[in-house]
């Protein structure tokens, strides 16, 4: 079912009792905690802020969706439509980037797609919202979201991410970065920055629009040193994965993708990482399940502070090594 907003309605959230803090990862900025309210529909949560209803335009490609605003505070900074197809070039470029990234992470690295993961079995789509952000460039939610449509019938459950309306996606890979977080969330509940942001920053190396890494000093010598970093932990994952001797190829379709201005989407057409990436995420998935059982927690419903805690770093390093 295609989703449509007319921009005239605010969200009406059916609530159980109180707001629940959202889980997300802020790219190139501090963590954000948008509000959620629990839906009466099991497995979904509804985004509370009415500002999301201001995003009145939509581009759909299969189960990928992008929503943006044609006017107002959330309107795109650049609304040029060089192709004259009714879609701004930056939105076309974001979709091109997301399709390529999904192919690289899935077919290239062999990772399970978020929509195929047990945690997200109720989700039917991945939706990116392009809107004004007070800080940072992006945010990926780790809960399933249900967004009412303009007919009041309710839209399918969705995984969601937000990216800034000021970005030029032919020169910025925030979309691919946030999509990688959705892949990570499907595997494990651990959200320590060295895992979440270090791995996602490593994934940016596939893409031509990625900013050059800013690393101080040598790469972390071991896992314990990496746990003290955030984005800089990407150097640890680079050494671990790209010297493993097991590789995966960038899918041909993704390797040849280009933005509207003719720039290539991918920086590499060869091999990076490969099976070792999948093996590490699968190790984290097993550890996550065991940890939940040992602590008497639901497999996919941990307190946010616990997910972000550093208390599991020792167990993670031991499991990976």
Share of the chain above pLDDT 70, in %: 75
| Residue tagged 């905690």 (tokens) | 33
Rounded Cα–Cα distance for residues 95 and 28 (Å): 21
Q: Does residue 244 fall inside a structural domain?
A: yes
Please count the structural domains in the chain.
1
pLDDT over 50 (residue 58): yes
Report the pLDDT averaged over residues 85-112. Answer: 95
Q: Does residue 2 fall inside a structural domain?
A: no
CB-based contact 98:175 (threshold 8 Å):
yes
pLDDT over 50 (residue 5): no
Q: Does residue 209 fall inside a structural domain?
A: yes
Report the pLDDT averaged over residues 280-305. Answer: 96
pLDDT over 60 (residue 17): no
Q: Does residue 6 fall inside a structural domain?
A: no
Q: Does residue 26 fall inside a structural domain?
A: yes
Structural domain boundaries enclosing 290: 19-320
Give how far the C-alpha of residue 299 lies from the chain's centroid of Cα atoms, to the nearest Å.
20
Q: Does residue 14 fall inside a structural domain?
A: no
Residues 158-193 pLDDT 10s: 899 999 999 999 999 999 999 999 999 999 999 999
Per-residue pLDDT, 213:
61
Q: Does residue 1 fall inside a structural domain?
A: no
| Residue tagged 């159980």 (tokens) | 16
Q: Does residue 287 fall inside a structural domain?
A: yes
């Amino acid at each position: 079912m295609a989703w449509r907003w007319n921009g005239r309605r605010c969200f009406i959230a059916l609530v159980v009792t109180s707001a629940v803090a959202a889980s997300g990862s802020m790219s190139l900025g501090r963590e954000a905690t948008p509000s959620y309210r629990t839906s009466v529909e099991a497995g979904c949560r509804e985004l509370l802020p009415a500002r999301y209803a201001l995003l009145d335009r939509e581009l759909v490609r299969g189960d990928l969706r992008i929503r943006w605003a044609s006017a107002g505070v959330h309107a795109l900074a650049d609304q040029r439509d060089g192709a004259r197809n009714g879609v701004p070039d930056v939105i076309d470029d974001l979709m091109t980037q997301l399709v390529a990234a999904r192919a690289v992470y899935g077919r290239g690295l062999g990772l399970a797609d978020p929509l195929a993961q047990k945690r997200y079995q109720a989700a039917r789509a991945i939706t990116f919202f392009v809107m004004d952000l007070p800080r940072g460039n992006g945010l990926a939610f780790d809960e399933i979201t249900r967004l009412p449509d303009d007919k009041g019938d309710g839209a399918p459950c969705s995984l969601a991410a937000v990216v800034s309306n000021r970005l030029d996606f032919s020169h910025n890979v925030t979309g691919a970065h946030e999509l990688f977080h959705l892949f990570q969330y499907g595997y494990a509940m651990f959200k320590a920055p060295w895992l979440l942001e270090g791995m996602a920053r490593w994934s940016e190396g596939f893409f031509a629009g990625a900013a050059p890494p800013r690393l101080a000093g040598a790469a972390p010598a071991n896992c314990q040193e990496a746990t003290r970093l955030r984005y800089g932990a990407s150097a640890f994952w680079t050494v671990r994965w790209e010297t493993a001797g097991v590789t995966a190829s960038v899918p041909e379709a993704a390797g040849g993708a280009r933005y509207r201005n003719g720039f290539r989407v991918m920086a590499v057409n060869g091999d990076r990482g490969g099976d070792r990436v999948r093996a590490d995420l699968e190790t984290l998935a097993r550890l996550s399940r065991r940890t939940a059982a040992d602590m008497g927690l639901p497999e996919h419903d941990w307190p946010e502070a616990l997910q972000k805690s550093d208390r599991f770093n020792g167990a993670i390093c031991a499991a990976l090594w």
